[in-house]
Amino acid sequence: MNAEIIAIGSELLTPFRQDTNSLFLTKRLNELGVEVIFKTIVGDRLEHLLQASRIALTRAQIVIFSGGLGPTEDDLTRECVAQALGRELRRDHEMVTALYTSAAAMRMRVSENHVKQADYIEGAEILKNSRGSAPGQWIDTVYEGQRRIVILLPGPPIEIEGMFNDHCFDRLKQVLPEEHIATCELKLAMVSEPAADQRAAKIYKQFSDIETTVLASPGEVQFHLKTRGATQEEAETRVDELASLLEDEFTEEIFSCTGESLEQIVAYFLQMRGATLSVAESCTGGLLAERITRISGSSRYFMGGALVYSDQLKQDFCGVPPQLLKSDGAVSHSVAAALAEGIRQRCKTTFGIGITGVAGPSGGTSERPVGLVYVALADGKHTEVVDRIFPGGRERIRWFATQLALDLLRRKLR
């Protein structure tokens, strides 16, 4: 089965806003074995929306509309889809009463536009909206001789996600041919995409029945595996088979098989070990700590640390000897090591991480180019220091540096 998603709203045709609902919808549709073949974005104009509706009904088996169900004059989805299907709009009197009751409670007047939200397309099932006022609609119909499932959903992400999960997913499952789909997501740290893909391709190419998607972001590569089977067990066994082979190939690099972020994996290992962590950040300016503390409950293993942008603070907070800063420079192997061990001692933690580097775009020299980063990990007995020259702009270099730091700690804790 295939689907088209139509996102409605003139703001989605400006440089400032983007349709993101389709990512959520695609994920859930894929779980049901439905492929999205077109996405259309259209403004709040009757003739454009009507045209987009007709085209979608011709070419896709499931057509999902998001947005344009609110109470303003710009909200035209109900009218347009009714017209495209050649059906009348009816008014749901129960809902009209509900609209008046809730408005009275808030001492608001009900306008004719507001009452539009009680309109439904003849033959549609109404989908309750427990997170907003505009209900959705579900229409199982025939269009030009073809069966079509037409779904109208509200635009706000919290409303559309809730409504799809509550009222559409199971309904679609019942309507669709039974499918058994298994998926798996492997995440790898600090390996380049071409290198990872070269090593992985010779394995996954033997599994032509499994769809393998390789995605990359700075310091991270993901393998998304997906297959169908005659039974759920068969599909899962098959995906597990490929996943195991990839895990064998990338024993060092794979940090998660179940979707966790690198921060979450480090959190898990630290807690399992009853270990604590502190950081001293120079060029990353707080990004490492910010990533670590994204996890709720991180205060159990993360004590804090120091932001040592200036040389003076490298001395004051981490006890880096001034002569070291003078002889080796702030961006050096020895200063990174001193930051890591210094902050570990000051904060009395199991581990200490020190980062120093040149995030750019200015400040680079031939000896210390933009992108050069030293990351040190100290545990009291030993301090490990890694240096790398990362490509890209300031933001990318800083992200890479924190990814390297988290991965160093992960490998240590494994």
Q: How many residues bind a second copy (CB under 8 A)?
A: 71
Shortest Cβ distance from residue 211 to a second copy (Å)? 10
Whether the Cβ atoms of residue 3 and residue 61 lie closer than 8 Å to each other = yes
Shortest Cβ distance from residue 30 to a second copy (Å)? 7
Tokens 């991270």, residue?
220
What distances in angstroms separate CA 126 from CA 24, 29, 68, 121, one per listed residue? Answer: 21, 20, 16, 9
Shortest Cβ distance from residue 95 to a second copy (Å)? 26
CB-wise, 117 or 276, nearer to a second copy?
A: 276
Scan residues 162-181 and list those touching a second copy (CB under 8 A): none
- The yes or no reply on residue 359 touching a second copy (CB under 8 A) is yes
Listed residue (265, 285, 289, 286) closest to 277, CA to CA: 289
Scan residues 180-239 and list those touching a second copy (CB under 8 A): 213, 215, 224
Choose, by CB under 8 A, the member of 23, 104, 108, 158 that binds a second copy.
23
Shortest Cβ distance from residue 277 to a second copy (Å)? 10
Shortest Cβ distance from residue 353 to a second copy (Å)? 12
Considering only the stretches 17-25, 73-81, 115-123, 233-241, report the one whose residues sit in contact with a second copy under the rule CB under 8 A. Answer: 17-25
Tokens 């270990």, residue?
275
d(CA 414, CA 412): 6
Binding mask 280-319 for a second copy (x = CB under 8 A): -x--xxxxxxx-xxx-xxxx--xxxxxxxxx-xx--xx--
Phi, psi angles (nearest 5°) of residue 211: -85, 120
Binding mask 247-286 for a second copy (x = CB under 8 A): --------------------------------x-x--xxx
Residues in the chain: 414
- The yes or no reply on residue 27 touching a second copy (CB under 8 A) is yes
Shortest Cβ distance from residue 120 to a second copy (Å)? 27
Shortest Cβ distance from residue 306 to a second copy (Å)? 6
Binding mask 53-92 for a second copy (x = CB under 8 A): --x---x---------------------------------
Q: 353-380: b or e for each residue (b if 16 or more CB lie within 10 Å)?
A: bbbbbbbbeeeeeeebebbbbbbbbbbe
Tokens 């009900």, residue?
110
Scan residues 29-48 and list those touching a second copy (CB under 8 A): 30, 35-43, 45, 48
- The yes or no reply on residue 406 touching a second copy (CB under 8 A) is no
Phi, psi angles (nearest 5°) of residue 53: -65, -45
How crowded is residue 55: how many other Cβ atoms within 10 Å of its Cβ? 16
Shortest Cβ distance from residue 307 to a second copy (Å)? 4
Radius of gyration of the chain (CA): 28
CB-wise, 39 or 199, nearer to a second copy?
A: 39
Choose, by CB under 8 A, the member of 123, 259, 322, 361 that binds a second copy.
361
